[in-house]
């Protein structure tokens, strides 16, 4: 297999990066060539994405990749559900909203009056999250932007459109919108029509691994690239790309945690689980690469800790860099304070008047838990609560899917948090294998390479290459803590 060099654009809600990846026989490597901060921009009481700024940074990263060697392909993945609207001339109608904007808070209840949650789940198989695309669109009914819209493009597809001029929706990300029929893999025009949404704005669907198109001539010229460099539709939902790079052995029944700002906690299946019990447990069935199903639960993730870090930095609190906080958390009393880490009060960004550390303490007070006093204790509370959530949801997923759980793979940035990975192993009572950290970019690169002719016929071959080329850190479970009692203190899970 001849080495291929591709640009893997991996966009997160707090940062974006452009990676130069090499894929060949026995070879898989990444080099970060450009990283930039990202985040919601508050304007007039709403929260938006600076998508033109993101596009500018993507171009800058691609130009850097082009300066350092030949480029065979480009792929883009990002977080899910957020979108831009185009008018009939193909121009963007305003700034895309961030999924953390509060306008959708009560929308699921309003939608359920038209289409019951049972009927929604039978079509889309998704857990009820207020920021899902279908609820964002329901919140936008009657607005000038939606009434003028000709096309809806999810963010990775919008960026690909600006690169190529080609319109479409990659299926793994489309599956997160609430408007894709999880059984047929096609848009549900019936559901959209019942909710009085303009289903005609939904673009044609394409599979991960298909070629979107070559670069626009002017884009290629600006980047110093040949105009025939293709943009490839990867698993454009970053979790779909991350799961591709889970270094699992196909003989082992595994669970995964794609750990970053959000934690996506679940199993890889061949078919969706659409039982009433799965719906009541608020599990989601999202599309994966090669027709797989990501049966999972969204957990708030390291967002809570990153917002605590930001608050402490703004205050000038000493010894609140991540390494110091984890050191303090490692010596704090285990399971002293646990909270529902998925509580809605933790969803939005912290503010000067309502910072994240105080929200965590308030949750503990409301639950009758001992109050964490120091940054180290608050950090331990967050990590213990995350491990409890992982335990609860992975065990539930295995039970609902009729699967054993023999090992858990943690990929993404959270795989570097060794304390959290060890606590997860302790909580679940099974080994946790941590790494690779840049799983989404690796999965992005692997799907591109296959589309460009690499001998990687299936997920098993891709994962074998990851195992061959990347180390993982094993965390074996330690006895001694009563995780059952701690789980009981948290109470029923929050949807």
- Which amino acids are annotated catalytic? 238
Q: How many CB atoms lie within 10 A of CB 194?
A: 16
How long is the chain? 495
Are 368 and 232 a contacting pair, CB within 8 Å?
A: no
- Give me 469's structure tokens: 């080329």
Q: How far apart are CA 197 and CA 311, in angstroms?
A: 39
The DSSP secondary structure of 188-242, one letter per residue, reads -HHHHHHTT--GGGSPPEE-TT-EEEEPPHHHHHHHT--TTPEEE----BHHHHH
Tokens 């989601």 label which residue? 284
Return the axis-axis angle of helices 303-315 and 375-401, rounded to nearest 10°: 170
Return the axis-axis angle of helices 375-401 and 483-490, rounded to nearest 10°: 90
Within 13 Å, how many C-alpha atoms sit on residue 363's CB side?
Answer: 26
H helix intervals, 68-143: 107-112, 117-124, 133-139
Tokens 């009056």 label which residue? 113
Distances (CA, A) of 155 to 39, 116, 411: 14, 28, 23
Are 206 and 170 a contacting pair, CB within 8 Å?
A: yes
- Give me 83's structure tokens: 């979108």
CB within 8 Å of 416: residues ≥ 6 apart: 434, 437
CB within 8 Å of 383: residues ≥ 6 apart: 305, 329, 417, 419, 420, 423
- Give me 21's structure tokens: 């990846």
Distances (CA, A) of 49 to 41, 91, 170: 6, 16, 20
Return the axis-axis angle of helices 322-331 and 418-428, rounded to nearest 10°: 40
End-to-end CA distance of the chain: 46
Q: How many CB atoms lie within 10 A of CB 60?
A: 14
**Omega cis (within 30) before 436:** yes
**385-398 b/e (C-beta count within 10 Å ≥ 16 → b):** bbbbbbbbbbbbbb
């Amino acid at each position: 297999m001849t080495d291929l060099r591709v640009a893997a654009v991996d966009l997160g809600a707090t940062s974006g990066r452009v990676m130069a990846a090499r894929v060949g026989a026995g070879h898989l490597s990444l080099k970060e060539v450009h990283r930039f901060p990202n985040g919601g921009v508050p304007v007039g009481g709403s929260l938006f994405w600076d998508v033109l700024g993101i596009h500018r940074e993507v171009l800058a990263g691609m130009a850097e990749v082009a300066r350092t060697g030949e480029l065979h392909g480009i792929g883009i993945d990002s977080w899910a559900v957020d979108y831009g609207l185009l008018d009939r001339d193909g121009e963007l109608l305003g700034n895309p909203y961030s999924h953390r904007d509060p306008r959708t808070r009560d929308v699921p209840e309003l939608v359920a009056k038209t289409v019951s949650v049972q009927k929604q789940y039978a079509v889309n198989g998704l857990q009820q999250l207020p920021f899902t695309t279908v609820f964002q669109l329901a919140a936008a009914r009657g607005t000038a932007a939606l009434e003028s819209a000709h096309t809806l493009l999810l963010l990775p597809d919008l960026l690909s459109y600006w690169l190529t001029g080609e319109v479409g929706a990659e299926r793994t990300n489309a599956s997160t919108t609430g408007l894709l029929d999880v059984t047929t893999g096609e848009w549900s025009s019936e559901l959209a029509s019942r909710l009085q949404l303009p289903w005609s704005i939904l673009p044609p669907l394409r599979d991960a691994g298909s070629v979107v198109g070559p670069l626009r001539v002017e884009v290629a010229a600006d980047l110093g690239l040949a105009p025939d460099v293709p943009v490839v539709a990867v698993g454009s939902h970053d979790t779909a790309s991350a799961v591709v790079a889970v270094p699992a052995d196909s003989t082992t029944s595994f669970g995964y945690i794609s750990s970053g700002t959000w934690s996506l906690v679940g199993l890889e299946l061949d078919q969706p689980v659409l039982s009433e019990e799965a719906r009541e447990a608020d599990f989601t069935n999202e599309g994966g690469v090669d027709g797989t199903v990501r049966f999972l639960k969204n957990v708030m993730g390291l967002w809570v800790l990153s917002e605590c870090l930001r608050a402490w930095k703004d205050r000038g609190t000493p010894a609140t860099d991540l390494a110091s906080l984890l050191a303090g958390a490692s010596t704090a009393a285990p399971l002293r304070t646990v909270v529902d880490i998925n509580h809605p009060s933790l969803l939005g960004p912290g503010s000067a008047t309502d910072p994240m550390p105080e929200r965590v303490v308030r949750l503990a007070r409301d639950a009758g838990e001992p109050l964490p006093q120091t940054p180290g204790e608050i950090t331990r509370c967050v990590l213990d609560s995350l491990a409890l959530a992982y335990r609860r949801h992975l065990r539930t997923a295995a039970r609902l899917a009729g699967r054993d759980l023999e090992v858990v793979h943690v990929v993404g940035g959270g795989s570097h948090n060794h304390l959290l990975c060890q606590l997860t192993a302790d909580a679940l009572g099974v080994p946790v294998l941590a790494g690779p950290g840049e799983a989404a970019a690796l999965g992005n690169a692997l799907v591109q390479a296959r589309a460009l002719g690499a001998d990687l016929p299936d997920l098993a071959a891709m994962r074998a290459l990851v195992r061959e080329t990347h180390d993982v850190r094993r965390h074996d479970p330690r006895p001694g803590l009563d995780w059952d009692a701690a789980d009981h203190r948290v109470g029923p899970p929050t949807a």
